[in-house]
Structure 1
């Protein structure tokens, strides 16, 4: 059996813009995920 992961994710970042103010301009961002790292190996489930 291989010890190599089927999926590798390193330093994942997901940011969503915060809209509002004058003409719906961006007013910053919400950090949903910031710097997450994970591996998924054969037989594992993610979710």
Structure 2
């Protein structure tokens, strides 16, 4: 825990991307197949 508070490196951008992908998965649960989910994740990642 001390390292997380004392080093300059953090995983904020990575955690934000993971949370965004999880949100998309929750929104599309039961509505679309894997191909559409993959396309949507890749399109939003390009932003």
TM-score (norm 1): 0.24
TM-score (norm 2): 0.24
Which is strand-richer, 1 or 2? 1
Which is helix-richer, 1 or 2? 2
Q: Which has the higher contact order (CA 8 A, sep 6+)?
A: 1
